[in-house]
Amino acid sequence: MVQLRLAFALGITSLGGAGWVSGASGQTAGLQELWCSKGSPAFLEFTAVMGAGFAPDGRVWVSDSQGSLLVYSETGSVEREIGRKGEGPGEFDAPRFIRATPEGGVVVFDLGRRSLEYFDTAGNFERRVLLPSTVLNPKGMVVFPNGDVVVSGGVPTDEASLHQYTSDGREVRAWWPDPEPVGHSRSDFYNARYVAGGPIARTRSGDLLYSVSAPHAIYRFSIGDTVPILIASDPNLLVSVLDDFERTFVNDAGERVIQPRWFFDQSRAVFELGHGTIINTVTFEDRPVTMFEAYTVEGRLISRTESDRPYWVWDALPSGRVAASYQDQDTGEHVFCLIQYSVR
């Protein structure tokens, strides 16, 4: 089991190799790696995992920066590779988020091409849908029962962070304001778009969960509504990074370099367990851990636990099965893992 630490008000208490910890409410949270993979020599060895998602048949699809996807069985064996880098049907530029569709297939958000790529569960390409806008630094995607797709992140052409499209690419609506730029320069404008948005998920009732990347705030949108209900907020956990998104340093050649902080402290995933518990995950720029927060439906904090690996959570099922990846701190290799997260 992965090592967990329970976050108390006065600090983080180490629990050795335990996989379960108790919260203040008496409930316990557990995290267990079911299997992990670095890819397959016969198909594709990961360079950088860029996304993952559960297909309707229980298989897990994982996207890599090389432009291909691997399909895993529920037990962790690689079954096939889908696509490659290219412009043709079934090929990708920069595949990112992966979600099941209501028709029983899979849709892949291609960040580089600004498109939705649709496949059946056997991996056969069905169609490509180009989107009308470029989402900068996208942070989440969900598919609704009617086939509409919501992508979270800023775009250059409006000031909204959430964008809903039909399955044929028409924009239905855009809502939730981007952060206000700190200045009036072109750089300030784009930084606000890069920071905008956060992870999103669909609940069993069809509502939309939205966790702002930073500062910390988790909301619920009812179906068709743009006015949210605040579930939880902790400004001491995550603060706005907009006025400090760019860092300036001098490189070895003595040149002044401006570098965006893509990996600022932020909420990375939000999802709902089958009994209604809401899980929010937080990653940190300078700490190789991931915090798993558990909240009741009403927003009461059940527990905060930290894994000893910096997981990026890509997708989750109501059962607590979690598709995640991390970069090995020693070797630099990217590893995909199927995890079981539970609160009891």
Distances (CA, A) of 165 to 118, 146, 168: 14, 11, 8
* pLDDT score of 243 more than 60: yes
DSSP per-residue string spanning 201-264: EE-TTS-EEEEETTTTEEEEE-TT--S-EEEEE-TTT----GGGSEEEEE-TTS-EEEEE-TT-
Mean pLDDT, the chain, whole residue set: 90
Amino acid at 73: S
Average pLDDT over residues 256-263: 89
What whole-number percentage of the chain has pLDDT above 70? 92
User: pLDDT value at position 45?
Assistant: 94
User: pLDDT value at position 163?
Assistant: 96
User: pLDDT value at position 90?
Assistant: 95
* pLDDT score of 212 more than 80: yes
Tally of structural domains, the chain? 1
- Tell me the whole-structure pTM to 2 decimals: 0.91
User: pLDDT value at position 25?
Assistant: 54
Least confident segment among 23-32, 75-84, 296-305, 328-337: 23-32
Average pLDDT over residues 230-239: 96
- Hey, CA dihedral for 59, 70, 62, 338, is it positive or negative? positive
Q: What is the DSSP letter of 188?
A: H
pLDDT bracket for residue 18 (50, 70, 90)? very low
pLDDT bracket for residue 184 (50, 70, 90)? confident
Q: For 271-294, write each residue's pLDDT tens digit.
A: 999 999 999 999 999 999 999 999
User: pLDDT value at position 181?
Assistant: 87
* pLDDT score of 13 more than 60: no
* Three-state SS at 186: helix
* pLDDT score of 107 more than 90: yes
CATH of the domain at 183: 2.120.10.30
Higher-pLDDT residue of 17 and 269 is 269
Average pLDDT over residues 232-251: 91
Answer yes or no: are the C-beta atoms of 55 and 103 closer than 8 Å.
Answer: no
Report the C-alpha gap between 58 and 54 in whole angstroms: 6
Containing structural domain, residue 154: 4-343
Count Cα atoms within 13 angstroms, Cβ side, for 242.
21
In this structure, what token pair is assigned to residue 199? Answer: 């992870």
User: pLDDT value at position 116?
Assistant: 98
Residue 43: exposure state from Cβ atoms within 10 A (0-12, 13-18, ≥19): middle
User: pLDDT value at position 12?
Assistant: 32
pLDDT bracket for residue 26 (50, 70, 90)? low
